[in-house]
Amino acid sequence: MSSTIVQGLLAQPAERPRRLLALIAVACTGLLAFGIYLQHVVGLEPCPMCIVQRYALILVGLLAGVGAAVQGPATRRLLVLLALAAAVFGAFVAARQSWLQWFPPEVLSCGRDLYGMIESFPLKRVIPMVFRGSGDCSAVDWTFLGLTIANWSFLWFCAMGLVMALVAWRAPTATGRGRVPA
């Protein structure tokens, strides 16, 4: 019985990849809308790492949405792999921010916002500054079920990445069959 359920779950990405990618695009849109709500209605200002996570989420959503719209399986697989890479990057940034929240730096400095850093420094200096974090990145301003925004972001990126990995893994090849026998 349980092996049938597992086989059914693994078969879903191969049978309905466009529907799953559309669902991921809708989920990204909803998560971005919630982030905008937290920023403009609740009044939470996003830190540089939050902004980078938003960009990763936008990229995942756009790639998944385009992947859901295209007809060719090879093009869809490429878009899914690119979206998977963006999801892994977003999960990395969220994990780093979660680490900063659990173990905040001893010296808290507000630092600049992301746009101020980009205007003032070359990009090769901005990227390490963003991942080093600041006092803003270690602040916990909102929680739900005991998890921070960064924790939830990490979980969502991992879930979307897992679905996209299954879609890419089970996608039809040039011979018309999936990589793994069902």
Domains of the chain, by residue range, sit at 18-170
State yes or no: pLDDT of 146 exceeds 70: yes
Cβ-proximal residues to 91 (8 Å cutoff; 6+ apart), any chain = 154, 157, 158, 161
CB 89 within 8 A of CB 176: no
* pLDDT value for 6: 46
* High-pLDDT (> 90) share of the chain, %: 17
Q: Which of 16-30, 64-78, 112-126, 166-180 has the lowest mean pLDDT?
A: 166-180
With bands split at pLDDT 50, 70 and 90, how would you rate the model's confidence at 58? very high
CATH number, domain 18-170, options 3.30.70.270, 3.10.20.90, 1.20.1550.10, 1.20.1250.20: 1.20.1550.10
- Alpha-carbon span 52 to 93, nearest angstrom: 8
- Alpha-carbon span 113 to 121, nearest angstrom: 12
pTM of the model: 0.70
* pLDDT value for 143: 60
Q: Which two tokens stand for residue 70?
A: 């295209």
* pLDDT value for 29: 93
State yes or no: pLDDT of 181 exceeds 50: no
